[in-house]
Chains A and B, each alone.
Chain A
Amino acid sequence: MYGIVVAINVGIFAILALSVNIITGYAGQPNLGQASFFGIGAYTTAILAGKYGVGFLPSLIISGFIAGIVGLLLGLASLRVRDDFLAITTIGFNFVVVAIFQYVPFFGASMGLSIPPLKLFGYPVGYVGLFIIILLLMLLVILFTKRMERSWIGIALVSIRNNEEAAESLGIDTRKFKVISFGIGTLIAGFAGSVYAYYMGFIMSYNFQFMTSITILSMAVVGGLGTIAGPIIGAIVLGLAPEIFRFVSDYRLLIYGAILILMMSFQPQGLVGDGSIFANIVRKLRPKTSGVDQ
């Protein structure tokens, strides 16, 4: 029972870390407001399912798309402001969204919103069922990211991240791909929010604060931006850290802060990023099949 709750939490945050990875990892656009899209997804589901009795699948899809559309709008803003300005704009966006959830009565204001228990085909879905749904969703996101990595979108995105001017001079419309990456990344966060709403049964603006955005981005960075395994490993490591360090529960945040500082100081590319200790070990263990080695 306790194990499955932890697993669900880690799973949801793994999806979120993967989602921010598309924006920050692949397209290189800093995003410190991902929790707001997570929140937009969760609130959309809470309103659809809680107030209008809409079923699971429609709620999930609509939630994703609403988050994605708002994300596209923020992506448009990213064309006007760059780098550090964009980072702060996304922080600001997060605060404004949370303030709206907290003060507008339609969104439950300080009372929050409740969501009816999840039912599929008339049967209630328990924690195990919810976890399976999360794993399926995560699998979809992983498959999608893999495809994207290999397709022309992925190549364009990575070239934007590495050198925007060079990419532009090669005729890549960097503006279009930046906005697309925002749209996709926030759409996925909206899906995660929808599932989260069903899992929690009750949501408040508090769940989607700036700190949550930091947690999501930290997971992706600690694991390794621009990789698929990285955000998942980051979500597992940082998601389990509070559970593992439960015996020193009073020092959990202190340890969390220390992990971030140490990781960034000694392994800034993340646990599995290019040139990290872990990646080097894997490369050495792997038998050489081709003569070409980077």
Chain B
Amino acid sequence: MFLQQLVNSIVIGSVYALTAMGATLVYGILRVLDIANAGAYAVGAYIGMAIYALTGNLFVSLIATLIISGAIGICLEKFIYLRLLDKPSIVPLITSIGVFIFIEDLLRLLNGPYAKRFPAKLPFSGIQLSSVSIPATWILVMVVTAVLLFILWYILYHTRIGLAWRATAQDMETAKAMGVNINLVVALNFLLGYGFAAVAGSLIGIMYNSISPTMGDTPAYKMLAIIVLGGLGNPVGTVLAALIIGLVETFLGGYIGFFLPRDAIAFVALIIMLLIRPKGLFASNNA
């Protein structure tokens, strides 16, 4: 039972990590709280399902989801966010809420308000150990998340563009003065940020075999709690915070029993943590 819960929480935590990574990257560079990123999560689920229905190939559909949603993210960045950076932070925040409402309603208009199925056939089967069962979809979630996070880590810490990303995250003006191609960094940021959230949406759709226009609602705010716990804009902190929230939710909710619903736990943890460590659990020194 304990082991089973542990596996549950790791699966949930890894989806949270992938979902929150988009908003973390956007915040890291632009200092914008990007609620619209949860829109990419829902969009990703629909794109993933459509392409899977078309091609029947899960791998192709996940890659295409990442690229198409990433392209949507780049458009948002170019046409909306970049113009708002010098405004008070409430302006881009309200804008991103507007974008989120717009995307959600567009999905509802195009696909109808009801949940749809996302039945994916996986090329491997689940694992059944004595007391722990791991369905195939869970393995898919964990493997895809691990691969994507590894790619992100490699880009950020072992490539020139990653170096440029880290420089820009520390100080955009100085980075620009040093000849860093800011436009490229920001574009890559949105490509990965929106792409990752979209893949997370697809994975959740496959895992629960259900997608709906409002599926981004819960991630929209829970992701905020996670990126704050992780120290706002700190990718490594975000992964740790996501795993911790996954653990706390599963064990408080499923094991001990808690008077509040599962989805409120992240915020109770957040408020307690902020009062003790106002800069986040894993705040980087320059934050």
Contacts and interface: CB of A to CB of B under 8 A. Distances in A.
Interface of A: 24, 28, 30, 32, 77, 80-81, 83-85, 87-89, 91-93, 95-96, 99-100, 102-104, 210, 214, 217-218, 221, 225, 250-251, 253-254, 256-261, 264-265, 268
Among B100, B103, B268, B274, find the residue whose CB has the most chain A CB atoms closer than 10 A.
B274
A77 B273 CA distance: 12
B94 A88 contact: no
A268 B99 contact: no
B109 A254 contact: yes
A257 B102 contact: yes
A46 to B, nearest CB: 21
A156 B51 CA distance: 57
Nearest to A210: B221
B91 interface: yes
Given A80-B275, A92-B271, A102-B261, A217 B100 contact: no
B271 A89 contact: yes
Contacts of A260: 94-95, 97-98, 101
A217 B95 CA distance: 12
Interface stretch (B9-17, B82-90, B161-169, B241-249): B82-90
A103 B109 contact: no
Contacts, number: 127
A254 B103 CA distance: 8
B198 interface: no
A254 B263 CA distance: 27
B56 interface: no
Interface stretch (B137-145, B150-158, B224-232): B224-232
> A-B pairs with the 7 shortest C-beta distances?
A260-B98, A257-B102, A257-B101, A92-B267, A99-B264, A253-B105, A264-B95
Contacts of B88: 28, 268
B116 interface: no
Nearest to B264: A99
Nearest to B280: A85
A210 B221 CA distance: 9
Nearest to A261: B98
A9 to B, nearest CB: 19
Chain B contact patch, size range = 35 or more
Contacts of B95: 260-261, 264-265
Contact of A85 (B100, B106, B232, B264): B232
Contacts of A254: 101-102, 105-106, 109
B184 interface: no
A95 B221 contact: yes
Contact of B261 (A32, A99, A259): A99
Contacts of B278: 80-81, 85
Contacts of A104: 259
A218 B91 CA distance: 10
Given A96-B268, A100-B260, A264-B84, A87 B93 contact: yes
Interface string B274-287: 11001110000000
Contact of A96 (B84, B91, B260): B260
A218 B89 CA distance: 14
B230 to A, nearest CB: 12
A153 B49 CA distance: 56
Contacts of A264: 84, 87, 91-92, 94-95, 98
Contacts of A28: 88
Nearest to B104: A253
B101 A253 contact: yes
